[in-house]
Amino acid sequence: MSLLVIGTLAYDSIETVHEHRANVLGGSAVHFGVSAANFGRVALVGVVGQDFRPEDLDFLEQRGIDTEGVERLDGRTFRWSGRYEADWNTRHTLETQLNVLARFDPKIPIAHQGSRYVFLANASPEAQLKALSQCEARVFALADTMNFWIESARDALHEVLGKVDGVVLNDEEARLLTGERSLIRAAHRVRELGPRYVVLKKGEHGAFLIGEDVQYALPAYPVEEVIDPTGAGDSFAGGFMGYIASADSIEPRTLRRAMLYGTATASYCVQGFGVEGLRPHSRGKIESRFNELLDITAV
């Protein structure tokens, strides 16, 4: 499998109505990597500070993630803290400390510059652009972003959108990016900016794929007890891209199946704090939820 992710490695502080945890291993590239690694080996490019715990790097390696592209700089690791309302759908960012991320200048190791599938996880659009320029062999690049970057780096983000094949956005981001209330209209506006495919993530209400040759909607897997939704979006993207890269295809049928794999993977992510919900060797469990989702949506 030829899959590369560029994004953040973080220490997150998360408040839910039940629990408060500080300095949990997280970050967009970490959630993505751990999820995608169920489908094959993933290469990760990101930056950490001197405080990044060696056991966290070992953990990523043990999960089948190549960390050669993780650079260590002087300073502290990126930190993010957030609080969820009781309904889980509303998240408040309490603090974003860029720390070493402010100096992130991604260098893709030579061994991974030929990667066929690339995920630009949530990071500054400038860093996303630098990473993309080093991946000329890509056949499919998917980007993610966040309100933080839509508000602070809109022009660079538009440039990213002009160069990728797909983008994943939640409803709030799609509206903020386009100014459209209607999500479907927002998706079409986003496609006009460049990407051939837009995946709209609607949290517990599921996800919608809109592309030139495909339209596909899926509910979320019905999870009885959510523990922590942090990383659900990246985990969805990890299952989605992991499957696409392992199938080495972007046929409409593959993209539809990838939506099911993304949904099944994200459902495990929300069942634990940070990356705890995604246990090693979850592929069999992902397959079983894939089949359940097929059953739920069948007529």
Closer of 23 and 96 to ligand AMP (Cβ): 96
Cα–Cα distances in angstroms (integers) from residue 277 to residues 14, 72, 265, 281, 286, in the given order: 15, 27, 10, 12, 12
Tokens 């495919």 appear where? 197
Which residues form the interface with ligand AMP (CB under 6 A)? 8, 10, 12, 26-28, 31, 80, 96, 122-123, 146, 148, 230-234
Tokens of 261: 């794999």
Alpha helices, DSSP H, located in the chain: 28-36, 54-62, 125-132, 147-152, 154-161, 171-178, 183-192, 232-247, 252-269, 283-297
DSSP lists the bridge partners of residue 143 as: 120, 167
In the complex, the smallest distance separating the C-beta of residue 186 from ligand AMP, rounded to whole angstroms, is 18
Closer of 27 and 49 to ligand AMP (Cβ): 27
Closer of 231 and 277 to ligand AMP (Cβ): 231
Compute the distance between CA of residue 189 and CA of residue 195 in angstroms, rounded to an integer: 10
Closer of 135 and 232 to ligand AMP (Cβ): 232
Closer of 165 and 234 to ligand AMP (Cβ): 234
In the complex, the smallest distance separating the C-beta of residue 213 from ligand AMP, rounded to whole angstroms, is 27
Closer of 27 and 64 to ligand AMP (Cβ): 27
Closer of 2 and 259 to ligand AMP (Cβ): 259
In the complex, the smallest distance separating the C-beta of residue 12 from ligand AMP, rounded to whole angstroms, is 5
Compute the distance between CA of residue 297 and CA of residue 299 in angstroms, rounded to an integer: 7
* 73 CB neighbour count, 10 Å cutoff: 18
In the complex, the smallest distance separating the C-beta of residue 160 from ligand AMP, rounded to whole angstroms, is 13
* CB distance 236 to 201 below 8 Å: yes
In the complex, the smallest distance separating the C-beta of residue 198 from ligand AMP, rounded to whole angstroms, is 17
DSSP letter for 121, please. Answer: -
In the complex, the smallest distance separating the C-beta of residue 249 from ligand AMP, rounded to whole angstroms, is 25
Burial 135-159 (b: 16+ CB within 10 A, else e): beebebbbbbbbeebbeebeebbeb
Terminal CA-CA length for the chain: 34
How many alpha carbons lie under 13 Å from residue 24 in its C-beta half-sphere? 23
